[in-house]
Amino acid sequence: MSAFANSHSLAGPARYACVAPGSSVDRGVAARVPIMGILNVTPDSFSDGGRFHHLDAALSGARMMAGDGADVVDVGGESTRPGAQPVGLADELARVVPVVQAIASELSVGISIDTSKPGVMEAAVAAGATMINDVLALRADGAIETVRDLQVPVCLMHMQGLPRSMQNHPRYDDVVSEVREFLLGRIDACVSAGMDEKNIIIDPGFGFGKTLQHNLALLAHLDVLVDTGVPVLVGLSRKSMIDAMLGRPMDRRVAASAALAMIAVQKGAAMVRVHDVAETADALNVAACIAAAGEHTAE
């Protein structure tokens, strides 16, 4: 987890005291992977579009996420849902910069900027963002050079196609190996440009140009990406794959989202990106306490 441990804003595994408030029983302190809370300041995101579109609502949402256990808040000003249309630079800046500034001035939480535009990356980091999350894996002109110069952690995500068309019949011969090779290629490009590999995180891009079977294969074989030695971020929260498996509408996907986050962590994910922070934190904290108890018993 070098990208987290070496960042001044992402301090590595979160620590959780395995003891209920008011209890005298000391169950020790467990470590769990960091949780990234999703804060979309857009009118059209697939799950919470419009909910955090205004500054006061966005800051309130960030406060709640931090209080619920988020280690990082991921601020996004351009929807990347299937069918989404591009947003201009000025509009995206107007959406995200005030929010990043407000969070940075009030909360002691890591701030990620979810963008593919170098101009937004620069402005957001200047405003207080401490990480970049790019669905294009720094393929936009000037993006690699910008992140290299900013010297902050970056998450490189795999996506087949672009948001407006990515779910139009995605096809792979071997989705796991193809995603792996793409991400390794992007890592090589970044390192060749002068970036520190310790600042790189990878994301297989669940739901971004992938069918249900592609998503399931990637999760089942997440170890293939984990074995690269680069930290893996997983975002499965409220995805349409839950509806495909269980027939659940958007407002009834919390339990399945927490279960998917747990499975991803058990398979080696170094961070999970979620909408429902409290529920995910509870699930991961319980697992961490059990793991800590097992380690204590073995000693």
Q: Which residues are catalytic?
A: 239, 273
Q: Residue 243: which H helix or E strand, with range? A: helix 240-246
Tokens 């996907």 locate to 253
Instruction: Residue count of the chain, please give it.
Output: 299
Look at residues 48, 63, 133, 105 and name the one whose alpha carbon lies nearest to residue 278. 63
Sign of CA dihedral 221, 15, 72, 248: positive
Beta bridge pairs of residue 134:
156
Q: How far apart are CA 275 and CA 35, in angstroms?
A: 10
Strand ranges for the chain from DSSP E: 14-17, 29-32, 35-40, 72-76, 110-114, 131-134, 154-157, 200-203, 233-234, 271-274
The separation between CA 140 and the C-alpha centre of its own chain, rounded to angstroms, equals 20
SS3 label, residue 232: strand
Sign of CA dihedral 95, 112, 135, 269: negative
Contacts of 19 (CB under 8 A, 6+ apart): 25, 26, 27
